[in-house]
């Protein structure tokens, strides 16, 4: 509506007594060369020509000198002006509306969830593969845009990113932004965890935090432990197989606190574990088990960590 008002005002300036003759001439030249066929305003070419001729007659009558006006039809000036301006507004407005405009692509997001004791494999639109561990959530576009591949993770996942130098791949999790071009790496970030854990299996990974220019560059075998409370980060050299064993049905604990081990067991076996002896929570244990039952894993942990336990359905008590 605003565009039509401005256009109407422009046309009306041509019909005042003191209008600039040069403007009239330019307008007449423009109108004579106007091609309306692309706008699809008229039903056929003949209708277009008839309409242009009628407008041309009224314009000619008005633009000619007062003593030589063509007596085509005795219309008041305001009717001639209104008719010409109205039709031209419709023509120009229709052409403007029919011109295709490039709208930004709207991302449509999907979410994949896993529950305790469940894992899933996701293939993204660019061919990248994501293995989603227990009790995790991945949010990702159904189709990436032209400049960036961006996903959101809560939980744990292993990423095998398809190479594309023109389109970086970014994983956003907590306060961290993990940026790669084509590589494989594991990310663990559960809400209850104190740290966000990033381990690189192949390629290079850049890790930064929101609102900061600091970036940690990781190469294969590198681990970044980011403390969510303090913002401190530590880089270590590790064996990536120890952190991706869950894909092979392996439970691998390397000098981990019993409390942290129990959180992983809860997600793995879909149980609830309570530690009733406070000093046991910080007990550090190393153990590797593959595809074993909860009872077998607890038995081995109890032997190494010197504690007792009781399984009652989906609850476990340790003391």
d(CA 81, CA 287): 91
Domain boundary among 243, 270, 294: 243
The answer to whether position 189 is within a domain reads: yes
Q: Residue 1: which pLDDT band, with cuts at 50, 70 and 90?
A: low
Q: pLDDT higher for 198 or 23? A: 198
Q: Please give the C-alpha separations between residue 57 and each of 36, 70, 129, in angstroms, as whole numbers.
A: 18, 8, 69
Angular region, 231: left φ>0, alpha ψ -120 to 50, beta rest? left
The answer to whether position 170 is within a domain reads: yes
Q: According to the model, what pLDDT value does residue 15 have? A: 59
Torsion of CA 256, 258, 263, 267, to 10 degrees: 80
248-284, pLDDT tens digit by residue? 999 999 999 999 999 999 999 999 999 999 999 999 9
180 and 216 in a single domain? The answer is: yes
89 and 133 in a single domain? The answer is: no
Torsion of CA 56, 57, 59, 61, to 10 degrees: 160
- Contacts (Cβ under 8 Å, ≥6 apart) of 300: 287, 289
- Contacts (Cβ under 8 Å, ≥6 apart) of 226: 174, 175, 176, 195, 196, 197, 198, 207, 209, 232, 233
232 and 117 in a single domain? The answer is: yes
d(CA 190, CA 137): 10
Tally of structural domains, the chain: 3
Average per-residue pLDDT for the chain: 83
CB atoms within 10 A of CB 180: 23
Q: According to the model, what pLDDT value does residue 212 have? A: 86
168 and 73 in a single domain? The answer is: no
The answer to whether position 206 is within a domain reads: yes
315-318 vs 137-141, strand pairing mode = unpaired
Residue with tokens 């590790």: 238
Domain boundary among 98, 124, 153: 98
Strands (E), 47-90: none
Do the Cβ atoms of 199 and 243 come closer than 8 Å? Answer: yes
Q: According to the model, what pLDDT value does residue 66 have? A: 47
Identify the domain containing residue 289 by its residue range.
Answer: 249-318
> What pairs with residue 227 in β-bridges?
195
The answer to whether position 103 is within a domain reads: no
d(CA 94, CA 44): 16
CATH number for the domain spanning 264: value is 3.55.50.30
The answer to whether position 177 is within a domain reads: yes
Do the Cβ atoms of 83 and 18 come closer than 8 Å? Answer: no
Domain boundary among 50, 79, 98: 98
State mean pLDDT over 15-26. Answer: 66
137 and 207 in a single domain? The answer is: yes
70 and 126 in a single domain? The answer is: no
133-188, pLDDT tens digit by residue? 999 999 999 999 989 999 999 999 999 999 999 999 999 999 999 999 889 999 99
3-state DSSP assignment of residue 238: coil
41 and 129 in a single domain? The answer is: no
What's the burial of 132, exposed, middle or buried (CB within 10 Å: 0-12/13-18/19+)? buried
For residue 91, how many C-alpha atoms fall within 13 Å in the half-sphere facing its CB? 18
60-98, pLDDT tens digit by residue? 665 555 445 444 444 454 455 555 555 555 555 554 444
d(CA 102, CA 230): 45
Number of H helices, E strands in the chain: 7, 18
Q: Please give the C-alpha separations between residue 196 and each of 106, 174, 241, 297, in angstroms, as whole numbers.
A: 31, 8, 18, 25
89 and 209 in a single domain? The answer is: no
Q: According to the model, what pLDDT value does residue 213 have? A: 86
The answer to whether position 104 is within a domain reads: no
CATH number for the domain spanning 163: value is 2.60.120.1440
Q: Which of 257, 231, 240, 135 is nearest to 176 (CA)?
A: 231
80 and 125 in a single domain? The answer is: no
25 and 145 in a single domain? The answer is: no
264 and 156 in a single domain? The answer is: no
48 and 174 in a single domain? The answer is: no
Q: Residue 211: which pLDDT band, with cuts at 50, 70 and 90?
A: confident
């Amino acid at each position: 509506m605003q565009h039509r008002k401005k256009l109407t005002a422009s046309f009306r300036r041509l019909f005042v007594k003191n209008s600039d003759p040069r403007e009239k001439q330019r307008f007449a030249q423009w109108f004579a060369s106007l091609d309306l066929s692309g706008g699809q305003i008229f039903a056929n070419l003949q209708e277009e020509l008839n309409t242009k001729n009628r407008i041309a007659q009224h314009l000619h009558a008005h633009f000619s000198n007062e003593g030589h006006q063509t007596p085509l039809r005795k219309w008041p000036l305001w009717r001639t002006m209104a008719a010409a301006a109205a039709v031209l507004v419709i023509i120009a407005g229709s052409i403007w509306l029919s011109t295709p405009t490039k709208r930004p692509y709207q991302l449509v997001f999907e979410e994949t969830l896993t529950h305790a004791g469940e894992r899933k494999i996701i293939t993204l639109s660019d061919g990248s593969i994501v293995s989603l561990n227990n009790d995790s959530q991945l949010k990702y576009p159904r189709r990436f845009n032209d400049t960036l591949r961006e996903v959101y993770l809560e939980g744990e996942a292993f990423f095998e990113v398809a190479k594309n130098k023109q389109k970086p791949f970014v994983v956003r999790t907590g306060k961290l932004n993990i940026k790669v071009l084509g590589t494989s790496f594991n990310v663990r970030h559960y809400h209850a965890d104190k740290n966000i854990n990033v381990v690189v299996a192949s390629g290079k990974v850049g890790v930064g935090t929101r609102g900061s220019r600091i970036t940690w560059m990781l190469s294969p075998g590198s681990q970044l432990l980011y403390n969510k409370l303090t913002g401190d980060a530590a880089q270590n050299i590790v064996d990536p197989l120890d952190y991706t064993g869950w894909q092979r049905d392996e439970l691998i604990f390397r000098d981990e606190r019993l409390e942290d081990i129990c959180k992983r067991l809860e997600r793995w076996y879909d149980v609830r574990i309570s530690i009733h002896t406070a000093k046991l929570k910080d007990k550090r244990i190393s153990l590797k088990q593959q595809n074993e039952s909860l009872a077998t894993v607890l038995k081995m942990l109890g032997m190494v960590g010197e504690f007792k336990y009781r399984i009652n359905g989906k609850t476990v008590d340790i003391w």
